[in-house]
Amino acid sequence: MTQTSWLAFSIDRTSKTPVFEQICAAIRKRAISGELSEGTKLPPTRVFAADVGVSRSTIVTAYEQLVSEGYLDSLQGSGYTVCAMCEVELPNKTKRAQLTLEEGPEKKVLPFEASQPDMRLFPHRQWAKAVSRVCRTNPQAMLVGGSSFGNFELRRAIAAHVSEWRGIEALPHQIMVTAGSTDALEICLRTLLKKGDTIGLENPGYLPMRHFADAHGLFTNFLAIDESGAKLPTDAGLTRLVVLTPSHQYPLGGAMSPSRRLEYLQWATKEDAWVVEDDYDSEFRYSGRPIPAMSGFDNLNRTIYIGSFSKIFSNSLRLGYAIVPEPLIARFRTTMRRFGLKASFMPQQALAEFMASGEFYRHLRRVRRNYGERRKFLLERLALEFSQFGYVRDHQAGMQIVFHLTEGCKDTEIARRASEQGITVVPLSIFSKGNSVYNGLIMGFCAYSEEEMELALELLKTCFCEARSGHSG
């Protein structure tokens, strides 16, 4: 009898339900029914994986999901044990079936949508504790923000976070809570530019910024990307502001060289211009330490730093932040008074307590480990089975990779064929203005298990083969 015979169940390989979710469901059922009592120790991930016949990362994903839901406890060096269960009445199957019929099935996101966190790994129990604590001790903080820049406790927590993780020394009064990084970028445009001004944008670059520039009546100076990062503006002082992604260029990946960063700071000082540093997913670096932020090197002299919680915590909270230089604080406050704060006050105090308790960083380490394993899986599969179609430049960072296509494959055609199969891959060429020399697919991996990506890769390979055969015919 194996160590997992007490948890014996069969995996349905034909089911659309991912394997790790099947494992979660089996453990949940036994925990709720009392078959697994409080303190029962689950088998080590490697043992369980070998016994069930799946990868170890699948078991790790299942265990961590159950930890986040409160069914399991995880202690360093002690493995996973079953938590105490209160008496729970299992839902009536008939009623649940009727409810599903009335509401309709929830649409499932398929690989490989980029920049999406896996909300199945969200720390529900720990977050609920933080929200409950605020409701008991300081409920008014969930409705009253106290400042046009947002909740003070959250701004103080953000100041500590960027000091430790990004090397930025800022005071809470310099930090503005926003409804995500996109909101922060638009606030910068409203504050620092007027209609007819020129903005510098990376090319290829973040599409919403191009749309914002057009909507605000700005002229755009497109900055080509070379091996050192975005090239400097050469329009003799016309460009008043540039938006850069120096730690992890979007969408190509890669980091801006130290010399190019210095050149931009010297340019901004000389031209009395501003650099907006969009650091949207800097926490996800899978080798070595995070690259220091440009704003830290600049001491927030000519740079505005933008960060987000949507990628590392929850995309449904819609919270981000901007850190502005001291001389700009009054101008940004005027903008906020004119246009109002879009970020909801409701979750801000709870997020501040969640960060102060250390749970935020435990969650960050957990998801980064999971994402790192998924990224490794995707890179290995692409190198093994897709090398005839393209290649990946591995930048050891981010929430997506770019699969650069070889001759004979056009990214827009592959993306169209993949969409017909229910697969999301975005053509790289659409991010470039003008005659694009870029030809590739942007592929996200964070929100998907290995089993989910496995099936999608099989379908994607069929798309490549059909496209090639169509051209040769």
Q: Which residues does 350 contact at the CB level (< 8 Å), separation at least 6? A: 127, 130, 131, 133, 134, 142
The residue ranking higher by pLDDT, 426 or 25, is: 426
Query: What is the pLDDT at residue 97?
Result: 39
Query: What is the pLDDT at residue 69?
Result: 64
Q: Tell me the pTM.
A: 0.77
Q: Which residues does 121 contact at the CB level (< 8 Å), separation at least 6? A: 61, 64, 65, 68, 363, 366, 367, 370
The residue ranking higher by pLDDT, 46 or 303, is: 303
Query: What is the pLDDT at residue 304?
Result: 98
% of the chain exceeding 70 in pLDDT: 90
pLDDT band (50, 70, 90) for residue 12: confident
- Distance, in Å, from the CA atom of 6 to the CA atom of 30, rounded to the nearest integer, reads 10
pLDDT above 70 (res 146): no
233 dihedral zone (left: phi>0; alpha: psi -120 to 50; beta): beta
pLDDT above 70 (res 439): yes
What are the φ and ψ backbone dihedral angles of 210, each rounded to 5 degrees? Answer: -65, -40
pLDDT band (50, 70, 90) for residue 424: very high
Angle between helices 359-385 and 348-356 (to 10 degrees): 90
- Distance, in Å, from the CA atom of 36 to the CA atom of 384, rounded to the nearest integer, reads 41
Average pLDDT over residues 90-102: 40
Q: What is the CATH number of domain 126-360?
A: 3.40.640.10
Class of domain 5-104: mainly alpha
Average pLDDT over residues 447-464: 95
Average pLDDT over residues 446-453: 94
Query: What is the pLDDT at residue 81?
Result: 86
Class of domain 367-472: alpha beta
Query: What is the pLDDT at residue 102?
Result: 44
Tens of pLDDT, residue by residue over 363-393, are 999 999 999 999 999 999 999 999 999 999 9
The residue ranking higher by pLDDT, 20 or 176, is: 176
Tens of pLDDT, residue by residue over 217-271, are 999 999 999 999 999 999 988 999 999 999 999 999 999 999 999 999 999 999 9
Tens of pLDDT, residue by residue over 62-75, are 887 777 666 788 77
Q: What tokens were used for 60?
A: 């790790």
Query: What is the pLDDT at residue 57?
Result: 80
Distances (CA, A) of 447 to 43, 122, 208, 459: 26, 11, 22, 18
- List the chain domain ranges: 5-104, 126-360, 367-472
Size (the chain), residues: 473
Query: What is the pLDDT at residue 266?
Result: 96
The residue ranking higher by pLDDT, 4 or 443, is: 443
Query: What is the pLDDT at residue 4?
Result: 47
pLDDT above 60 (res 92): no
What is the average pLDDT score of the chain?
87
- Distance, in Å, from the CA atom of 80 to the CA atom of 358, rounded to the nearest integer, reads 20
Query: What is the pLDDT at residue 214?
Result: 94
Amino acid at 303: T
- Distance, in Å, from the CA atom of 264 to the CA atom of 267, rounded to the nearest integer, reads 5
- The CA-based angle 165-171-176, given to 5 degrees, is 85
